[in-house]
Homo-oligomer: A and B are copies of this chain.
């Protein structure tokens, strides 16, 4: 999965594809999002918009690798009612990323460590935390707090 890979660069490009959808149900838009995520989009998101003729509608946005344009344009045309999509390339500034594992009383949790110009961010992986929370019958916040405590302790011992 792309979001779990090491990243060693601090700059790249990303393609933003968009379509306005006023003749498709929310139900089938949820299905379309799943297909786009499964196909490896970096990100897929909906924005509520208001269109002519009093239509509450939805803008679908996909962020993907520029070289995968055809794949995602075709998926959009297949899974949505639109007959046209627009797109553009955007620049990105990104933090470098590595992964480590933290042992907690709720099990092992992966932590993403992002760095850039002295800024360091440590983020527990959502899927691991959610799984641990479900298994142990606690809230997601309880798991995340435990991970932060372990990270803070290991910091103090060095």
Contacts and interface: CB of A to CB of B under 8 A. Distances in A.
Interface of A: 14, 16, 20-34, 37, 43-59, 61, 63, 73-74, 77-79, 81, 83-88, 90-95, 97, 112, 114, 116-117, 119, 121, 123, 126, 130, 133, 139-141, 144-145, 148-149, 152
B31 A140 contact: yes
B133 A16 contact: no
26 contacts: A16-B86, A22-B26, A23-B25, A23-B26, A23-B27, A26-B57, A26-B58, A27-B53, A27-B126, A33-B54, A43-B51, A45-B50, A47-B50, A48-B50, A50-B54, A53-B126, A56-B58, A77-B116, A81-B123, A83-B97, A83-B123, A84-B95, A85-B92, A85-B94, A87-B93, A145-B152
B14 A86 contact: yes
Given A59-B47, A116-B77, A31 B94 contact: no
A153 to B, nearest CB: 9
Looking at A20, A29, A46, A140, the one whose CB has the most chain B CB atoms below 10 A away is A140
B24 A25 contact: yes
Given A47-B59, A56-B50, A93-B85, A27 B22 contact: yes
